[in-house]
């Protein structure tokens, strides 16, 4: 029997995966390359297909067509127990009649490791996930966060080549989620194992991932690093799902070097977009993040930035920023200004001007 320590991270390839349930297409032509040791999140709303992709990778769902490769070897039809994947389920799936130590050591028992080695390895992993003092407790005696640590330890105890996480933090409160996000990232760096995480929480995906795969309606919309997806979304869905954005629909009126002059509901907006392929007369949509906007008391005719005027309809303070909604001729616009930039939140009902740099935002194909 190979020693546990001989395991290492694996690369994964999804090639044209398709899965239907009756007339419903769960995933369609899903292809992606996971590098060995990478942390990738599958991000999307309910029904996007992200869990189906993960369950196919785990071997619990058989795709109608397409292939799953591990280190270049086809494992599409390989049984789950032979894939060397650790899986952490949303519902933890702990054995209620076993202690924490027994739950964690159970995968080693299934693999035929002798009792002494099982106990030693369980102690190592419990220490790693800060459960060293909880080995003799039953799952019912643990908090939700502690139960999740047990589930994670059980998935890691046999040194899997890949760890699959099926929305493991969704049942926890915000503070606990934040703590376990950092814990997962720490473990990933320490172990160097390939992690694939399913989530609908964009903040979680942005915080933990090397790369993100955004899915909608069973297909991949965009892949990239968190920064790439946030700064350069390819369509409105990605821009709106990964954070929030203000959208302005209009037409390219003229071009001047890198500047595109846009006609948006009769308002002239200038957007700087080097190497833009958009042509005069083409329909476009400008997405501008709320944090790119600033409020001021009045318009400044000497300021080259884009400017609008409007009335504050709602304003709130979150501790680190002021969130303001302003009714303008282009609709209601959301602004998020850091509290160290703005002295106080704009007063509801006040007339204000809004400014943003010409290079801010992302120009998308219009509809």
pLDDT at position 177 is 84
- 217 and 183 inside one domain: yes
Instruction: Tell which of 240, 263, 279 closes a domain.
Output: 240
- Separation between Cα atoms, residue 70 and residue 240, nearest integer Å: 33
Q: Partners of 251 in the beta sheet?
A: 263, 283
- 266 and 298 inside one domain: yes
For the segment 62-83, what is each residue's pLDDT rounded down to a tens digit? 999 999 999 999 999 999 989 9
For the segment 18-58, what is each residue's pLDDT rounded down to a tens digit? 999 999 999 999 999 999 999 999 999 999 999 999 999 99
In this prediction, residue 276 has a pLDDT band, given cuts at 50, 70 and 90, of confident
For the segment 153-203, what is each residue's pLDDT rounded down to a tens digit? 999 999 899 999 998 877 777 888 888 888 889 989 988 999 999 999 999
Instruction: Tell which of 208, 240, 272 closes a domain.
Output: 240
- 23 and 126 inside one domain: yes
pLDDT at position 5 is 44
- 195 and 281 inside one domain: no
What number is the average pLDDT over the span 217-229?
97
- 104 and 148 inside one domain: yes
- Separation between Cα atoms, residue 49 and residue 45, nearest integer Å: 9
pLDDT at position 53 is 98
In the predicted structure, residue 150 carries a pLDDT above the cut 80:
yes
For the segment 47-67, what is each residue's pLDDT rounded down to a tens digit? 999 999 999 999 999 999 999
Instruction: Tell which of 240, 261, 284 closes a domain.
Output: 240
More confident residue, 42 or 315: 42
What is the domain extent for residue 48?
4-240
- 54 and 193 inside one domain: yes
- 230 and 344 inside one domain: no
Strands in the chain per DSSP E: 12-21, 24-34, 39-43, 65-70, 73-74, 85-88, 162-166, 194-199, 211-216, 219-224, 246-256, 259-264, 267-272, 283-288, 294-296, 306-317, 321-328, 331-338, 351-356, 362-365
Tokens of 262: 């846009």
* Three-point CA angle 205, 246, 253, nearest 5°: 130
Give 29-34 contacts, CB < 8 A, sequence gap 24+: 29/66, 29/219, 30/66, 30/215, 30/218, 30/219, 30/220, 31/66, 31/220, 32/213, 32/220, 32/223, 34/194, 34/196
Q: Give the CATH number for residue 125.
A: 3.40.50.300
The phi-psi region of residue 319 (left if phi > 0; otherwise alpha if psi is between -120 and 50; otherwise beta) is left
What number is the average pLDDT over the span 271-289?
92
User: How many domains is the chain built from?
Assistant: 2
pLDDT at position 92 is 78
Looking at 16-20, 206-210, 292-296, which range is the least confident one? 292-296
pLDDT at position 2 is 41
| Orientation angle between helical segments 115-128 and 144-156, nearest 10 degrees | 130
Mean pLDDT value across the chain: 91
DSSP secondary structure, 69-128, as one string: EETTEE-TTS-GGGS-EEEE-TT----TTS-HHHHHHHHHHHTT--HHHHHHHHHHHHHH
- 290 and 176 inside one domain: no
- pTM for the model: 0.89
């Amino acid at each position: 029997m190979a020693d546990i320590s001989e395991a290492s991270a694996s690369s994964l390839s999804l090639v044209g995966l398709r899965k239907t349930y009756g007339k419903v297409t769960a995933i369609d032509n899903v292809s992606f390359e996971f590098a060995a040791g990478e942390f990738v999140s599958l991000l999307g709303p309910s029904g996007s297909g992200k869990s189906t992709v993960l369950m196919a990778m785990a071997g619990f769902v058989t795709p109608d067509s397409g292939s799953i490769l591990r280190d270049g070897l086809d494992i599409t039809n390989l049984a789950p127990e032979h894939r060397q994947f650790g899986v952490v389920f949303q519902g933890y799936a702990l054995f209620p009649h076993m202690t924490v130590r027994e739950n964690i050591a159970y995968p080693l028992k299934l693999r035929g490791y002798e009792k002494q080695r099982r106990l030693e390895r369980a102690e190592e992993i419990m220490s790693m996930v800060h459960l060293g003092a909880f080995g003799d407790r039953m799952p019912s005696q643990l908090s939700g966060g502690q139960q999740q640590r047990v589930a994670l330890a059980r998935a890691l105890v046999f040194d899997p080549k890949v760890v699959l996480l099926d929305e493991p933090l969704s049942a926890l409160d915000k503070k606990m989620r934040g703590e376990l996000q950092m814990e997962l990232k720490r473990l990933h760096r320490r172990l160097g194992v390939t992690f694939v995480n399913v989530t609908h929480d964009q903040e979680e995906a942005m915080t933990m991932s090397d790369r993100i795969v955004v899915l909608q309606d069973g297909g991949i919309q965009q892949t990239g690093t968190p920064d790439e997806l946030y700064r350069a979304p390819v369509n409105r869905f990605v821009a709106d799902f990964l954070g929030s954005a203000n959208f302005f629909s209009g037409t390219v009126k003229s071009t001047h070097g890198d500047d595109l002059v846009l006609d948006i509901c009769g308002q002239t907006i200038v957007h700087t977009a080097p190497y833009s392929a958009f042509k005069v007369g083409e329909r476009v949509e400008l997405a501008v993040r709320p944090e790119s906007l600033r409020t001021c008391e009045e318009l400044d005719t000497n300021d080259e930035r884009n400017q609008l005027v409007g009335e504050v309809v709602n304003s709130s303070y979150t501790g680190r920023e002021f969130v303001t909604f302003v009714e303008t001729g282009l609709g209601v616009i959301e602004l998020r200004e850091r509290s160290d930039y703005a002295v106080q939140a704009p007063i509801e009902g006040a007339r204000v001007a809004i400014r943003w740099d010409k290079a801010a935002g992302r120009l998308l194909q219009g509809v």
